[in-house]
Amino acid sequence: MTRLTLALCSLVLAGVGTTSALADTVTFDFSFTSTKNISGSGSFTATSVGTDEYLIDSISGTTDTGDGTDRKITSLLAPGTFPEGAANDNLLFFTPSDDTYSLDVSGLSYELNNGALLNLFSVGTNDGVDLLRVNGNEVVQSIDISIAPESSPVPEPESMVLLGTGLLGMVGLVRRRLAL
């Protein structure tokens, strides 16, 4: 019976150890400011769609459209639905060589609770915002944008394996002492 239990525990531990340490969905924090008082901050979740490429699935936070009022982000616009300029694709790219995240020229688009639409984008090393206000006025400005992955409070599977093997060792030690 002891060998069977040990074999089953080993099989479970081997299966857990093969689980990827990185989740398919990652949460990112973002913030941006322009010289004309357009600013915003919040977080979004993105799913890996390829090497160093993520599709943004949801967004939350606030944006000030330049009037001094923080407006709540109500929804992420579906890819290709931003009405002005390049159609948004809601893609985020990771550059491993310098550990940075950036948008592309098509950008990330979302709606505010007052009906205004925004598209955040990057062209080379320059970031920008395209703001389409409710009254139809369009404003395009340069921004400084910061995007960083949130740190995960959940330990990766390898830590759980280490904890499990430590507990198994302690159980074996206690059983051995009781048998003596």
Per-residue pLDDT, 178: 78
| Residue 96, domain member (yes or no) | yes
Burial of 20 (0-12, 13-18, 19+ CB in 10 A): exposed
Per-residue pLDDT, 58: 96
Contacts 24+ apart (CB under 8 A), 1-10: 9/168
| Residue 67, domain member (yes or no) | yes
119 neighbors 85 (Cβ within 8 angstroms): yes
| Residue 2, domain member (yes or no) | no
Structural domains counted in the chain:
1
Per-residue pLDDT, 20: 42
| Residue 16, domain member (yes or no) | no
Per-residue pLDDT, 134: 82
Which residues pair with residue 119 across a beta bridge? 109, 130
| Residue 78, domain member (yes or no) | yes
The length of the chain, given as a count of residues = 180
Angle, CA 96 vertex, CA 93 and CA 97 arms, to 5°: 125
91 neighbors 105 (Cβ within 8 angstroms): no
| Residue 83, domain member (yes or no) | yes
| Residue 138, domain member (yes or no) | yes
Place of tokens 């150890």: 17
Q: What is the pLDDT along the chain (180 residues), one digit of tens a residue?
A: 566 566 555 655 555 544 444 447 899 999 999 988 999 999 999 999 988 999 999 999 999 999 999 999 999 999 999 987 668 999 999 988 888 899 999 999 999 999 999 999 998 888 889 888 888 889 999 999 999 998 665 556 676 677 777 777 777 777 777 777
**Cα 141 to Cα 65: distance, rounded to the nearest angstrom:** 11
Rounded to two decimals, what is the model's pTM?
0.71
Per-residue pLDDT, 15: 54
**Structural domain for 63, as ranges:** 25-149
